[in-house]
Copies of this chain bind each other. A is one copy, B any other.
């Protein structure tokens, strides 16, 4: 696989702490096998057993849970560097369905391989733990939005969250390859209502939209509109100089 793609994954962890070469190699080891997936293809169905995990190396994907009555909730839109499928790790069967939004590249690995990584690189295990908590906090914000905010503020938050996660070299324009149907499945709204809300936000001047391109005109105003604080990570720590039992704390404070 291309080294540059893998580096995206590693960079994600580097936001939590800088990695030692051994740690970076351990991640590379998990990415041995890669798969190319076509847009809309199901990467892993809920119920699959045993549940695998996946690094998303390129493209957009999504995680969803289906209901017996045909509805589905999209829980997360995944960007390159994300670990996908981890919530199923403790369970006998996969909890969530993973689907490619655009064409994408993934690297599947087993939970056993990840468990071994925890043994071999305990500090990397800690970083995986922190990443999991970060995901949990994102879900908590999303649940808060679903429960407490109306459709307008909920959509505004989604745009802010995606904006924060995208490398936006291109100013505050974000290209979001999700249909309004899919956005509805993320927010718990009908596509019809999503459309009305999108146009409302546009009309109000909070965003400017053309097709699937969204421009966040005034970030501060949008954030104030939503009313949830931005989450800032604790400062990353340097990698330990060697692999011996580090006398320094992992996260100086």
A binding-site residues for B, Cβ under 8 Å: 16, 50, 63, 65, 67-69, 71-73, 75, 86-93, 95-96, 111-112, 115-116, 118-119, 122-123, 125-126, 128-137, 139-144, 146-149, 185-188, 227-228, 231-235, 245-246, 249-251, 253
Contacts and interface: CB of A to CB of B under 8 A. Distances in A.
B139 A246 contact: no
A146 B148 contact: no
B148 A86 contact: no
Contact of A71 (B148, B233, B253): B148
Contacts of A132: 129, 132-133, 136
B119 A123 contact: yes
A96 B140 contact: yes
Given A73-B144, A187-B147, A246-B119, A93 B232 contact: yes
Contacts of A232: 91-93
A97 B68 CA distance: 34
* CB-based closest 9 A-B pairs: A147-B188, A73-B144, A68-B227, A115-B250, A139-B139, A90-B130, A132-B132, A146-B146, A71-B148
A122 B133 contact: no
Contacts of A144: 65, 67, 73, 75
